[in-house]
RNA sequence: GGUCCUGUGGCCGAGUGGUUAGGCUCAGCUCUGCAAAAGCUGCUACUCCAGUUCGAACCUGGACGGGACCUCCA
């Protein structure tokens, strides 16, 4: 088997992938915060890691893929001012954080499923691992790299950096960070500017809080991933991933926490996916330029001329490498939708091809190129370019301009199955099935038979009228030597 | 302000010292009663300036543009 090369943020270079304990493999990806709808930018990250997960499985690895759900955030409720009128609010009228968590978790899973993302092996929640986070915090304090001040526990970055490379992921200099980091409000108790919280004392208005050795509070911003990755994948595992925006802070602190806890850096390969942009700007909630997946499917977003199916969107994302920014526009989606349809149409044609004795195409070479593309840091744009060569072969054979043997046809079917369906996770949409469609098949056969009769009588006015009216009903008719075919 | 990334044809996007991915759009041809589809052909691009080199979109330096991070963020 060819070697797989992966770009590792730790070394800023492509490295040959060597798992710790093959064929078993551990992968952790930072998941969504479920306090609002996921937007398309979030979806891109999870789709990129879904591709990576799928390819690793295809290569024969037994992957444990852990993606957390951040549900212990910083929701604040209306503070009861001690006034009896307000203090007596019914329980059901108050904001219940877990209700919000449930709503957006279900929504997130639905969207992931529509995009045909495989579910991770484990999706642990932050609220389900408060004990683990506290235990880790205790151990870091015991190891002398964290301290408590007024109910909040801080990680001592400068002390940690004396014997460790704190900025390994970003290659920045600690002194520069110290000079340029902005002052955070409400964290006056910490000793160093760079120190971050492992446990935070809860204000009265905080809705989610737990008892701890340091008083009532909630876990800090970074400890959940350290606690959960360690619990499910061990102190050291193969791959840790997330969006590039997490690299400088979240992942830097995660590594520091793990080393402070057990002396080991958690993952050998750090993978970072790039951002989705709109008109050149990062898609984010705070900028107000985010697309919700449903707006995309229905076409209700003002920047879209029409709706796009989940698979057309998935194909659109696969046309760009995961480490490049991807700019989102109606035109780009239109182009991808057409290309995706061509890919799927060609697959249908492939099923109908008859084998020749000789071959005019080098299909085995094509397969090797597909693997080479994927082994080069999961290069899906190049993979897709090769797949379009397969499309040309298939369509040419269908036009009797190319020859494909039985083994060529089998191999092409395998290439489709492996790369298009298994690895890229694309699937055929709108499969015809059910009674209504069986009836439609019969009706269309009848209509086309009548049209053929008209054509045989050179009554082109009638045949064109039939075709045009079917077209208006979104049924496309194609004439060929073997007779007319139709598609919706 | 600091750190880092990036600038490719009408559009989207790979590539990264010599041989010009791919998709979409557009034009022509083949096929066809006409279309559609498909195939073929064409549109030969790499922000600018200087340098290294036999040779640079690709390396180096500079300028300009865009972006990310430094603060919860995929």
Amino acid A58: pLDDT: 97
Amino acid A123: pLDDT: 96
Separation between Cα atoms, residue A308 and residue A295, nearest integer Å? 9
Radius of gyration of chain A (CA): 28
**Distance CA A460 to C1' B34 in A:** 8
Q: What is the arrangement of strands in the sheet containing A196-201, beginning at the earlier edge strand?
A: A146-149, A152-155, A196-201, A217-219
Amino acid A78: pLDDT: 52
Q: How confident is the model at residue A84 (pLDDT cuts 50, 70, 90)?
A: very low
Q: How confident is the model at residue A368 (pLDDT cuts 50, 70, 90)?
A: very high
A452 touches strand B (CB under 7 A): no
Q: Give helix A223-233 / helix A130-142 axis angle, nearest 10°.
A: 100
Which residue, among A475, A447, A476, has the nearest Cα to A463 in the 3D structure?
A: A447
Residue A375 has pLDDT above 70, yes or no: yes
Share the mean pLDDT of chain A. 87
Domain boundaries, chain A: 21-77+91-273, 277-423, 434-487
pLDDT tens string A264-311:
999 999 999 999 988 778 887 777 778 889 999 998 888 888 899 999
Residue A181 has pLDDT above 70, yes or no: no
Q: Can you tell me the mean pLDDT for A35-40? A: 88
Separation between Cα atoms, residue A219 and residue A208, nearest integer Å? 10
**Does 1.10.730 match the CATH number of domain A277-423?**
yes
- Residue A13 DSSP label: E
Separation between Cα atoms, residue A62 and residue A25, nearest integer Å? 6
Amino acid A441: pLDDT: 79
pLDDT tens string A134-157:
999 999 999 999 999 989 999 999
A336 touches strand B (CB under 7 A): yes
Residue A91 has pLDDT above 90, yes or no: no
A391 touches strand B (CB under 7 A): yes
Listing DSSP states for A83-125 in one string gives -HHHHT--GGGS--HHHHHHHHHHHHHHHHHHTTPPPPSB--B
Amino acid A483: pLDDT: 72
Residue A93 has pLDDT above 90, yes or no: no
A251 touches strand B (CB under 7 A): no
- Residue A23 DSSP label: T
Percent of chain A with pLDDT over 70: 91
Give the contacts of A374 (CB within 8 A, at least 6 positions apart). A4, A55, A380, A383, A419, A423
A391 closest-nt by C1' vs CA: B38
Amino acid A336: pLDDT: 94
**Distance CA A276 to C1' B62 in A:** 31
Amino acid A470: pLDDT: 82
Q: How confident is the model at residue A80 (pLDDT cuts 50, 70, 90)?
A: very low
ipTM: 0.93
A395 touches strand B (CB under 7 A): yes
**Distance CA A425 to C1' B12 in A:** 21
**Distance CA A402 to C1' B41 in A:** 18
A:210-229 Cβ neighbours of strand B under 7 Å:
221
Separation between Cα atoms, residue A27 and residue A64, nearest integer Å? 6
Q: Can you tell me the mean pLDDT for A31-53? A: 92
A182 touches strand B (CB under 7 A): yes
Q: Which of A142-151, A185-194, A329-338 has the lowest mean pLDDT?
A: A185-194
Q: Which run of H or of E encompasses A477?
A: strand A476-478
Q: Can you tell me the mean pLDDT for A369-375? A: 95
A284 touches strand B (CB under 7 A): yes
Residue A43 has pLDDT above 90, yes or no: yes
pLDDT tens string A343-366:
999 999 999 999 999 899 999 999
Q: Report angle CA A367, A394, A466 to the nearest 5 degrees.
A: 150
A459 touches strand B (CB under 7 A): no
Residue A184 has pLDDT above 70, yes or no: no
Q: Can you tell me the mean pLDDT for A172-183? A: 69
Residue A453 has pLDDT above 70, yes or no: yes
Q: Can you tell me the mean pLDDT for A465-484? A: 78
Amino acid A16: pLDDT: 92
Amino acid A440: pLDDT: 80
Separation between Cα atoms, residue A81 and residue A118, nearest integer Å? 47
A11 touches strand B (CB under 7 A): no
Q: Which CATH superfamily is domain A21-77+91-273 in?
A: HUPs (3.40.50.620)
Residue A89 has pLDDT above 80, yes or no: no
Residue A2 has pLDDT above 80, yes or no: no
Amino acid A426: pLDDT: 95
A329 touches strand B (CB under 7 A): yes
Amino acid A82: pLDDT: 42
Amino acid A6: pLDDT: 93
A341 closest-nt by C1' vs CA: B23
A:12-31 Cβ neighbours of strand B under 7 Å:
30-31
**Would A21-77+91-273 and A277-423 be classified into the same CATH topology?**
no
A468 closest-nt by C1' vs CA: B35
Residue A21: CB atoms within 10 A of its CB come to 12
Q: Which nucleotides of B are covered by protein (CB under 7 A)?
A: 1-4, 11-15, 21-25, 32-40, 66-74
Give the contacts of A280 (CB within 8 A, at least 6 positions apart). A327
**Distance CA A306 to C1' B34 in A:** 30
**Distance CA A316 to C1' B26 in A:** 22
Using DSSP, state whether A432 is helix, strand or coil: coil
């Amino acid at each position: 088997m060819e070697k797989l090369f992966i770009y590792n943020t730790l070394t800023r270079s492509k490295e040959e992938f060597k798992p710790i304990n093959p064929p078993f493999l551990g992968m952790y990806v930072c998941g969504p915060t479920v306090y609002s709808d996921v937007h398309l930018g979030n979806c891109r990250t999870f789709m990129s890691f879904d591709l990576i997960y799928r390819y690793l499985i295809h290569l024969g690895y037994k992957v444990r893929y852990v993606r957390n759900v951040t549900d212990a955030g910083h929701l604040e409720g209306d503070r009861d001012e001690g006034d009896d009128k307000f203090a007596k609010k019914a329980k059901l009228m108050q904001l219940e954080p877990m209700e919000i968590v449930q709503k957006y978790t279900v929504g997130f899973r639905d969207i992931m499923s529509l995009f045909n993302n495989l579910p991770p092996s484990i999706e642990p929640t932050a609220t389900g691992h408060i004990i683990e986070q506290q235990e880790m915090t205790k151990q870091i304090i015991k190891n002398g790299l964290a301290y408590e001040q007024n109910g909040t526990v801080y990680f001592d970055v400068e002390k940690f950096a004396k014997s460790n490379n704190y900025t390994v992921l970003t290659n920045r200099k600690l002194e520069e960070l110290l000079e340029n980091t902005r002052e955070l409000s409400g964290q006056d108790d910490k000793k160093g500017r760079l120190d971050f919280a492992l446990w935070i004392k809860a204000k009265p208005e905080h809705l989610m809080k737990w008892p701890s050795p340091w008083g009532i509070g909630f876990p800090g911003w970074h400890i959940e991933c350290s606690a959960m990755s360690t619990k499910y994948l061990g102190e050291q595992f193969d791959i840790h991933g997330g969006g590039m925006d997490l690299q400088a802070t979240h992942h830097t602190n995660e590594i520091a926490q793990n080393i402070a806890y057990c002396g080991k850096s958690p993952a050998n390969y750090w993978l970072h996916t790039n951002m989705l942009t709109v008109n050149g700007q990062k898609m984010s909630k705070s900028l107000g330029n985010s697309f919700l997946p449903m707006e995309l499917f229905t076409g209700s977003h003002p920047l879209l001329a029409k709706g796009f199916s989940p698979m057309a969107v998935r194909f659109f994302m696969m046309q760009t490498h995961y480490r490049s920014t991807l700019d989102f526009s109606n035109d780009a989606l239109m182009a991808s939708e057409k290309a995706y349809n061509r890919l799927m149409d060609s697959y249908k044609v492939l099923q109908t091809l008859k084998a020749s004795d000789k071959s005019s195409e080098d299909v085995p070479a094509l397969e090797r190129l597909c693997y080479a593309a994927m082994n080069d840091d999961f290069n899906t744009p190049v993979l897709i370019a090769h797949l379009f060569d397969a499309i040309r072969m298939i369509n040419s054979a269908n036009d009797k301009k190319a020859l494909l043997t039985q083994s060529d046809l089998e191999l092409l079917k395998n290439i489709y199955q492996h790369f298009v369906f298994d690895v890229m996770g694309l699937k055929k949409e709108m499969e015809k099935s059910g009674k209504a469609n069986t009836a439609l098949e019969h009706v269309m056969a009848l209509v086309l038979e009548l049209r053929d009769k008209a054509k045989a009588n050179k009554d082109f006015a009638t045949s064109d009228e039939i075709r045009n009216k079917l077209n208006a009903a979104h049924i496309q008719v194609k004439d060929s030597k073997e007779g007319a075919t139709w598609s919706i």
